[in-house]
Amino acid sequence: MVKNEKERFGPMKKKSQSLISVCLLFILVLGFSFPSSAQSKNQKELALKALRHQDYQQVIAICQLELQKNPRDYDFNFLLARAEAYQGHWNKALEIIEFLLQLYPHNLDLLLFQARLLGWQGNYQQAQEKFREILQLEPDNLSAWLGLVDLAIWQRQTQKALHLCQKLQTRFPEESQIYFKLAQIYYHQGSLKYARQFIQKALNLNPNNKEYQQFLALTVADLRLEYEFRYSFELIAFNDQRTPYQTHRFTLELGLPRHKGAFLFIGEETRRFERNDTSVGGELYYVLRPGTYTHVDFRLSSPAVHFPRSSYHAEIYQSIFRQGEISLGFRRYNFKHNSSLVFTGSAGIYWGRFFSFLRYFFNQEKEGTHWAWFTQTRMYFAPKNFLFLGVGGGARPFRVMTLEDWQTQESFLVLGGLNWLLGKRLHLLGQFTFRQDKGGIKRYTFFAGLGYKF
């Protein structure tokens, strides 16, 4: 009997031991996999939070670390692509999206983002084809339709954008994004009445949308003229024994109606070599049409000891593609015994939070160096809050303010500073410039200004 029991239950005991071993192994595997999965989820949440707060470097750091573990992870790759794109690294972002499309060829989110990236690059024809392909797959894809609207806006095809939005109104009458696009189009045309009507419709459909609320406030604010009174002081010190120069400047800035620009009244006084000189004038910044504006400047001086008797400056700026800007202009300086004509031009590009431009000057003179160049990069923290750094060289790579500036044949300069709004009223300006002129003279310029908006 015992023998039979051993024969009967022996195999069962072995099976039970094997089953217990399998269960223990399964529990151990789960024990390791759950924390790993939870950690990955936490990292995705952290990356999403960083993306919302525009901390793109943090997003990139998290994604790159996680992708070392799983290079094909959809979420981390897509987050990485967005972070790169929002910094202006469109080629990097496209490479990631194209890699993901090999794995998920019909993913609409990827196809939409690919089309937008092409649009941001200025490849409008390719972007349009991609949006059309999406609409063939899903004819009622609102994001693709709005992408076509954006392409028309970026190409200054305002009527085409309006026509598309009007078609979408009948197709998607309850979609607030369409009315928001219409509001934006009319706003940039200067038609604030229609802009307010459409943003109000968008808010009626989506009353808690903060972006819509801010845009409504913007359309109302543009009905009020904005004024600013500003005082600035400039001190120029030298590496020789001369007394530092001082310049005091008073500016009254008047905002033009309908977001069209600003007019500035300017008065300044300088003291150099124990003699004073004064200058008065004005500057006009005027938006001719969306993407095109002009800058006009004129000054008159008396007794014109240091300042030119009169000076004029006119330049027109034109945005190109979506991120670029070019300009052409001239400057005329009329001193007591001499005059000078300078032709100017620039090319700039916005990339993420930065704006960089290169400016050239051509001095129409018989002798000496004719050309000068100057480049500057700005880092934006808000539309009117930025830091800047610049460098230049050649024949007067700066704005000529006095006879001494005009007599300078060749210079090299480095400058840096800030433009900052403190709250809603105070406007702070600061700049330091180091300049070395041909012949060894070095000058150190300290500039500070404070404005009050009312």
Q: What is the DSSP letter of 352?
A: T
Q: Among 97-106, 217-226, 381-390, where is mean pLDDT lowest?
A: 217-226
Q: What is the DSSP letter of 156?
A: T
pLDDT at 6 over 50: no
Residue 88: the pLDDT is: 85
Mean model confidence pLDDT for the chain: 86
Residue 298 structure tokens: 């004129």
Task: Establish how many alpha carbons lie within 13 A of residue 178's alpha carbon, considering only the half-sphere containing its beta carbon.
Answer: 19
Superfamily of chain region 32-105: Tetratricopeptide repeat domain (1.25.40.10)
Numbered ranges of CATH 1.25.40.10 in the chain: 32-105
- In this prediction, what percent of the chain has a pLDDT beyond 70? 88
How remote is the C-alpha of 253 from its chain's centroid?
Answer: 24
26 or 48, which is more confident? 48
- Apex 399 CA angle, 317 and 395, nearest 5: 105
- Band of the pLDDT at 20, cuts 50, 70, 90? low
pLDDT at 239 over 50: yes
Q: Give the best-scoring range by mean pLDDT among 54-63, 113-122, 230-239.
A: 230-239
Q: For 249-287, what is each residue's pLDDT tens digit?
A: 999 999 887 667 899 999 999 998 888 899 999 999 998
Q: Choose which CATH entry (3.40.50.300, 3.40.50.1260, 1.10.3720.10, 2.40.160.60) describes domain 227-453.
A: 2.40.160.60
Q: Which residue(s) pair with 415 in the sheet? A: 390, 433
Whose tokens are 């910044």? That residue is 285
Residue 18: the pLDDT is: 57
Angstrom CA distances, 89 to 68, 83, 172, 337, stand at 21, 9, 34, 52
Q: For 309-346, what is each residue's pLDDT tens digit?
A: 999 999 999 988 767 899 999 999 998 888 889 999 99
- Band of the pLDDT at 34, cuts 50, 70, 90? very low
Numbered ranges of CATH 2.40.160.60 in the chain: 227-453
In angstroms, the CA 438 to CA 443 distance is 12
How remote is the C-alpha of 58 from its chain's centroid?
Answer: 20
Residue 367: the pLDDT is: 65
pLDDT at 26 over 60: no
In angstroms, the CA 279 to CA 273 distance is 17
Residue 29: the pLDDT is: 45
Q: For 145-199, what is each residue's pLDDT tens digit?
A: 999 999 998 887 888 999 999 999 999 999 999 999 999 888 877 777 788 889 9
In angstroms, the CA 72 to CA 196 distance is 46
Q: Which residues of 7-39 are buried (b: 16+ CB within 10 A; e: fewer)?
A: eeeeeeeeeeeeeeeeeeeeeeeeeeeeeeeee
Angstrom CA distances, 59 to 87, 285, 430, stand at 11, 39, 33
- Yes or no: say if 359 and 383 are a contact pair by the CB < 8 Å rule: no
- Yes or no: say if 134 and 141 are a contact pair by the CB < 8 Å rule: yes
- Yes or no: say if 94 and 293 are a contact pair by the CB < 8 Å rule: no
pLDDT at 222 over 60: no
pLDDT at 368 over 70: no
Residue 21: the pLDDT is: 55
**Alpha helices by DSSP H, 190-294:** 192-205, 210-221
Closest CA to 321 of 125, 72, 53, 59: 125
15 or 44, which is more confident? 44
- The stretch 387-401 carries a mean pLDDT of 92
Q: What is the DSSP letter of 223?
A: T
Does the CA dihedral 301-307-313-319 come out positive or negative?
A: negative
